[in-house]
């Protein structure tokens, strides 16, 4: 989770990712932020986040993003 937090803080240092639970629904992250986050996560974790994963609930919190990354690392 530390690596994910580091990526998020590099992209949006003005956001408290440990506390915020409505990153997308609250309008804190815009589409450019999401594209940047996906690109960085794909590179850092050698995963592929697909268009079908682009749901607000996957990006609303640090925990949700962590769960998404974990699901891509360990597909069922």
Residues 4 and 72: beta-carbon distance below 8 Å: no
Taking 90 as the threshold, does the pLDDT of residue 74 lie above it?
no
pLDDT, position 75:
76
Q: For residue 53, what are the CA distances in angstroms to 15, 41, 75?
A: 22, 13, 13
The token duo for 22 is: 């409505």
Domain boundaries, given as residue ranges, for the chain: 2-73
Q: What is the pTM of this model?
A: 0.93
pLDDT, position 76:
67
Q: What is the CA radius of gyration of the chain?
A: 11
Q: How far apart are CA 5 and CA 25, in angstroms?
A: 19
Mean pLDDT of all residues in 9-19: 97
Q: What is the pLDDT of residues 32-70, one digit of tens each?
A: 999 999 999 999 999 999 999 999 999 999 999 999 999
Provide the CATH topology of domain 2-73: 1.10.1200
């Amino acid at each position: 989770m530390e690596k994910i937090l580091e990526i998020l803080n590099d992209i949006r240092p003005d956001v408290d990712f440990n506390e915020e639970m409505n990153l997308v629904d609250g309008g804190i992250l815009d589409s450019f932020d999401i594209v940047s986050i996906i690109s960085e996560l794909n590179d850092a974790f050698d995963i592929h986040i697909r268009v079908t994963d682009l749901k607000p609930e996957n990006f609303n919190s640090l925990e949700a993003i962590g769960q998404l990354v974990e699901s891509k690392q360990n597909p069922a």
